Amino acid sequence: MVAEVTGSRASATEVRVLAIAPSAGGIVDFSPSPRAEELGDQLRQFVDTVVEPATPTYVAQVRDAGDPHFHPPVMEELKADARSRGLWNLFLPDTVHGAGLTNLEYAPLCEILGRSPLAPEATNCAAPDTGNMEILHQFGTPLQQDQFLQPLLEGEIRSCFAMTEPWVASSDATNISSRIERDGDHYVVNAHKWFTSGAASPRCRVAIVMGVSDPHADRHRRHSMILVPFDSPGFSIVRTLPVYGHDAGGGHAETLFEDVRVPAEYVLGEEGGGFAIAQARLGPGRIHHCMRLIGAAERSLELMCARAQQRVAFGKPLADQGVVQNNVAESRIEIEQARLLTMKAAWLMDTVGAKGARFEIAAIKVVAARMATSVIDRAIQLFGGAGVTDDWPLVGMWTYARTIRLADGPDEVHLMTIARRELRKYEGFRP
Ligand SMILES: Cc1cc2nc3c(=O)[nH]c(=O)nc-3n(C[C@H](O)[C@H](O)[C@H](O)COP(=O)(O)OP(=O)(O)OC[C@H]3O[C@@H](n4cnc5c(N)ncnc54)[C@H](O)[C@@H]3O)c2cc1C
């Protein structure tokens, strides 16, 4: 099997995939491990019987507080409950700080979390903290881990990631223009950011900021990342940006860092390593979004099918209409396709690392967000007017899916990555 690909420009990853693909002997196994299966049962039980029934309380507590970013007491109760069940930090493969699950084991669990907007935070598996914890775990010094990673792992604080800027096309990370300048034993941060998700949470205590530390270095060595505690003088939140009219749960903030002085030991990794850390952060972050989106799509399909059986129009249940059956079937097919590609990407991350899986991660980021927007949209249509109200979770799930076509890199950038790889194989045909 390997010999078949040696004549082309197949990468080491492709060779390996083909070498152990089912057609070559069948050792790819996507069935869950006994531990993942057990955790999956427990998680499903927790989400269905504890988190979902608590959702109206969460909504009421936020509403009564009069602040969309209020942290309601019920969330702390859910967190304590999840932790007592061992459903905590499931995303982190590390056995000391996390649950020690592989990406493939985590995939079906994360899918279950995607069924509920509250479940990720309740289990300390919510973005953007998960990505931030991952890079603190991977690149943080003992001091940084002690001050920031530990309280994040405990669920005591929250964090945000400040890369995107209003005045430059931030889908190209090398455009980031904020400054992080060395001054003695400090760095001075001057940055104007936006879409800093979670910054408006009263529990958000630290931002990971990306900026230029050496404008003369190579494009990919110009940037650094630095930890900026929220109580640093010069840091402020300008406003939160409503997304499709919604502003909640820590929001997406426009943030200013004006001459913020930060101790030099708060640089994450090495100076000039910002671009590489951004790449490292996005691998797991992207695939986790995909896993949650599959869960959201699966739940929408469940709601669609139940509603189609119950609702009678023109003398028969909607489920008896051919067009409805078509939509149900298309949705099932799309979910299955997306799930298989997500699991392949997860398996590659486990076997050849996030770098070796980057094309599959790029592909699934496009596929999962498109799939979820179309499946959830069909469910909204089937629900009639009710579908566009907040009486059902469909609007929130659709909004999440639609924004993921932009967040963590727009579709076009991932398509560009994949197309370049494909076309490179045929460079020899150029005149
Ligand atoms: C809900 C939400 C949450 C977010 N959370 C965060 C966060 O926590 N932290 C953070 O730093 N950022 C966050 N972002 C920002 C997000 O990562 C950026 O919006 C994204 O990277 C695109 O950057 P941009 O908005 O500057 O768009 P631009 O770079 O201006 O791009 C605009 C459009 O140009 C097109 N385009 C770009 N490149 C190409 C190409 N090569 N080929 C063809 N077309 C192209 C795409 O259609 C793209 O959407 C979030 C965004 C959203 C919507």
pLDDT digits 0-9 by tens, 72-98: 999 999 999 999 999 999 999 988 888
Q: Is 169 in the pocket of ligand 1 (CB under 6 A)?
A: yes
Distance 173 CA to ligand 1 centre (A): 10
Report the mean per-residue pLDDT for the chain: 92
Q: Residue 10's pLDDT is what?
A: 33
Q: Which atom of ligand 1 lies closest to the CA of 409?
A: 21
- Kindly list the distances between the CA atom of residue 162 and the CA atoms of 4, 81, 253, 337, 360, in Å, as whole numbers in the listed order: 45, 31, 9, 33, 26
pLDDT digits 0-9 by tens, 266-305: 999 999 999 999 988 878 889 999 999 999 999 999 999 9
Work out the burial of residue 116: count CB atoms within 10 Å of its CB; fewer than 13 is exposed, 13-18 middle, 19 or more buried.
buried
Q: Is 211 in the pocket of ligand 1 (CB under 6 A)?
A: no
Q: Residue 319's pLDDT is what?
A: 98
Start-to-end Cα distance in the chain? 32
Q: Is 347 in the pocket of ligand 1 (CB under 6 A)?
A: no
Q: Residue 27's pLDDT is what?
A: 64
For residue 22, pLDDT over 70 is answered with no
Averaged pLDDT, 381-396: 96
pLDDT category, 13, cuts 50, 70, 90?
very low
- Kindly list the distances between the CA atom of residue 219 and the CA atoms of 117, 355, 396, in Å, as whole numbers in the listed order: 38, 19, 38
Distance 408 CA to ligand 1 centre (A): 7
Q: Is 413 in the pocket of ligand 1 (CB under 6 A)?
A: yes
Q: Is 171 in the pocket of ligand 1 (CB under 6 A)?
A: yes
Closest CA relative to residue 373, chosen from 302, 308, 297: 297
**What percent of the chain has a predicted confidence (pLDDT) above 90?**
87
Q: Is 282 in the pocket of ligand 1 (CB under 6 A)?
A: no
Averaged pLDDT, 49-58: 97
Question: Which three-class secondary structure state does DSSP give residue 242?
Answer: coil
Averaged pLDDT, 311-323: 98
Q: Is 412 in the pocket of ligand 1 (CB under 6 A)?
A: yes
Q: Residue 30's pLDDT is what?
A: 85
Work out the burial of residue 228: count CB atoms within 10 Å of its CB; fewer than 13 is exposed, 13-18 middle, 19 or more buried.
buried
